[in-house]
Every structure is written in C-alpha cells, then in structure tokens.
Amino acid sequence: MRDPLTVNALPGILGLEAYSPGMPIEELQRRLGLHDVVKLASNENPLGPSPSVTAALRAALDGNLALYPDGSGHRLKQAIGRYHDIDPNCITLGNGSNDILEFLGRIYAGPGRAVLFSAHAFAVYSLVAQAQDADAVVAPARPADDAQPYGHDLEAFAEALQRRPDVSLVFIANPNNPTGTFLTAEAVEAFLNRVPPQVIVAYDEAYYDYMDPSLRGDSRDWLRRFPNLLVCRTFSKAYGIAGLRAGYALSSPAVADLLNRVRQPFNLNSLALVAAEAALADQAHVAASVALNSRERQRLTDACTGLGLRVLPSEANFITVDFGRDAKPVHQGLLERGVIVRPMGSYAMPHFLRISVGTERENDRFLDALSAVLA
C-alpha cells in the first residue's frame, strides 16, 4: 500500500535520490574516532576567504542582524556589474550558483520538455531535470582515449539538438566537474552558433578562475552576441566563501527578469552579501589562490602518475584519478588514514576518485596516505 504522504508528490520528486555532498570532517571524526582529518572532497579553497572578507564580516556582525537583507542585493550587483562591465539588470544573485540552476529548471524545464547535458557532468543538472518532470537527454562524453577523456562532446550536443526539438535548456560546465576537463573557446562559440534561439544555454563557469588564461573564452562577449546564453559564476571556489553560499548569473535582461520572478526574496543573507562584495574586491587573494592551485595541482598530478595511476587533464581545483579497478577500497583506506576524497561511482566512474587540491601540507597527507594504501 502506497504511503498516503507520497500520493500527491510529483512523480519526478519521488524518483529522485538526494544529492550526496562530500563527507564533512566531523562525520569522519565521529565514525572512526579520528582527530586529525584532511578534507579534499568538495573543491573548496584551502586558503579560505580573504582577510578583507573576514574583516567585513566582523564589521557586519555589529550591524542589525534582526533586519532583513537588501532583497535586491543592490551593492553586490553594482560591484559585479563594474567587475564584468555589464548592466546590473543582467545580473541575478543566487544562494550559490546551484540556486541559479534551480531557477532555470523552474522556468524552462517541465513535462513535455527536455534538458540536455553531458554524461559525467555535475549531478545537479540531472536533478533539476527530474525534479521538473522534464526528460533528461544525456549526450555521450568524449571517449576514454581522447585528449579530454570523459569530457563534454559538443558535436554530440549538437546532434542531440537535431534529434530532440523538445530540448529547452542546455547545461555546459567548463571546466567540467567532476572530470576537470575543459572546452576550447572556439568549440564553445561554434556550438553556440548552432543552438536555436529559443533554447537556453546555461554555461557553468564555477571553476573559471582556475583555468589557464590562454584557454578561457570571452563569455562576456558571447553574452552580447547570444541572448539565449546565461553564464553562472560562484564565490564558493576561488573566492573561498563556500560556507556562505553566494553565486550569480550573467544573462540578457529578459532572462534575468524571468530568473528574478522565481528567485525567492532574501535568497542571500546579509553576511553573504557583505562577504561576496569584499571577496570580489580582493583579486590579489584570488590570484594567490589560483597560483597555489596551479602549483599543487601539477605536483599531485606528477605524484599520482609516478604511482602508475592515470590522471585526467584538469583545469579546475581538483584532479580525477583512474585506479583501473574499483576505487572503493582505496577510498576506504584513505578514510581510515584521515583523508577524505570523493568517490566517483555516482558519476558512472567507479574506478575514479576526485581529489581537491589542498595546501602543501594537506596534499602531503594525501600522498602519504595514498602510498600506504597502494603498498
């Protein structure tokens, strides 16, 4: 007999499995009684926020937190507008960039419509489609022996659009999570030229700051030329304030207007607004974070390769490592040694683990633990 509490639940919701984030440090401490735990599972910035962010938050705590925040996020939108040289009317604020992805699903997905994304792409894309009872169209990823293995294949995207005129929303991540692979600017622009004008392309640049500048496309220019394009950014990665949840979208004013119709009032709290504004202003801290990541990402890649493991090419703040066999025992062995990384079984990559780039000390802990597990 069906539970009466689920009778009126939407079919798409009933079929969902809750998103499983990276294991918190406290959980591993409770589970195994460990004290010195390193978390390299959720692609956070190991340097944390800028000191100017911390100072701004301390000052904000002296304000009146009993009052609602500015629901329009005026100051932050003005700062983002200046940074990108874009009209604030083209900006939508989100409680992390995930918020933006949810808005897009509510606006453009639904029964009788389809959402297109790649295999081995961010799990939330599939969740957004299913929650709205939209059909998920999964483009096959690039083959394992490709220069960008398991990454987006935009030719497969274009072919899917030809087959499926019901696609209303496309998600593209560049660099991609969880693989770290990237798309060239030329490939992205060529694809945008092939997308019908009524199909919205959500271009997820959560890891944009970590890319080699020579590989980055000019998404700001694309926004001028492709009104159906939306660009997602976040303050959770290079800006180091994942705990406060702040992100934003850049789009045409028409798309921004629709996003703001479904955006809940006060979706960014007062502290997140203050922190994001201060973080954006301290580009020196972002540069230091990117420099650390570039140096340590290469060191991790070289060390894992030296252990006989395959590492996917990455332009993000993590590496994805192929163990050539079920990676669960390796994952468990690392946990027992106080190192949390991310298994990739839920992404149909059971032989892989994703390792966030930490500080030099944290990465040393990982490499020592990995060597012990593989011995």
Q: Are residues 68 and 211 in the same domain?
A: yes
* SS3 per residue for 228-249: CEEEEEECCCCCCCHHHCCEEE
Last-in-domain residue among 264, 282, 300: 282
Determine, yes or no, domain membership for 56.
Answer: no
**Which two tokens mark 327?**
């990676």
Closest CA to 11 of 166, 164, 171, 134: 134
Phi, psi of 340 (to 5 degrees): -100, 120
Q: Are residues 165 and 144 in the same domain?
A: yes
Closest CA to 250 of 187, 184, 201: 201
Determine, yes or no, domain membership for 59.
Answer: no
Q: Are residues 186 and 114 in the same domain?
A: yes
Cα 219 to Cα 203: distance, rounded to the nearest angstrom: 9
Number of folded domains that form the chain: 2
Rg over alpha carbons for the chain, rounded to the nearest Å, is 21
Q: Are residues 192 and 330 in the same domain?
A: no
Q: Are residues 288 and 276 in the same domain?
A: no
Model pLDDT, residue 8: 77
Summarised one tens digit per residue, pLDDT across range 297-356 is 999 999 999 999 999 999 999 999 999 999 999 999 999 999 999 999 999 999 999 999
Q: Are residues 275 and 295 in the same domain?
A: no
Q: Are residues 32 and 74 in the same domain?
A: no
Summarised one tens digit per residue, pLDDT across range 109-118 is 999 999 999 9
Distances (CA, A) of 16 to 20, 84, 126, 354, 355: 12, 37, 9, 23, 26
Phi, psi of 174 (to 5 degrees): -145, 110
Determine, yes or no, domain membership for 175.
Answer: yes
Q: Are residues 293 and 158 in the same domain?
A: no
Closest CA to 317 of 208, 232, 241: 208
CATH of the domain at 295: 3.90.1150.10
Determine, yes or no, domain membership for 321.
Answer: yes
Model pLDDT, residue 1: 63
CATH of the domain at 71: 3.40.640.10
Query: Which has the higher per-residue pLDDT, 154 or 219?
Result: 154
DSSP 8-state secondary structure symbol assigned to residue 41? S
Cα 245 to Cα 137: distance, rounded to the nearest angstrom: 29
Tell me the average pLDDT across 213-223.
93
Closest CA to 171 of 127, 222, 131: 127
**Is residue 104 a contact partner of residue 230, using CB atoms and an 8 Å limit?**
yes
- Checking if the pLDDT of 11 tops 80, the result is no
3-state secondary structure of 92: strand
Model pLDDT, residue 29: 84
3-state secondary structure of 329: helix
Determine, yes or no, domain membership for 55.
Answer: no
Cα 228 to Cα 193: distance, rounded to the nearest angstrom: 11
Q: Are residues 130 and 268 in the same domain?
A: yes
Q: Are residues 79 and 219 in the same domain?
A: yes
Cα 366 to Cα 373: distance, rounded to the nearest angstrom: 10
Domain housing 149: 64-282
pLDDT tier at 223, thresholds 50, 70, 90: very high
Q: Are residues 218 and 362 in the same domain?
A: no
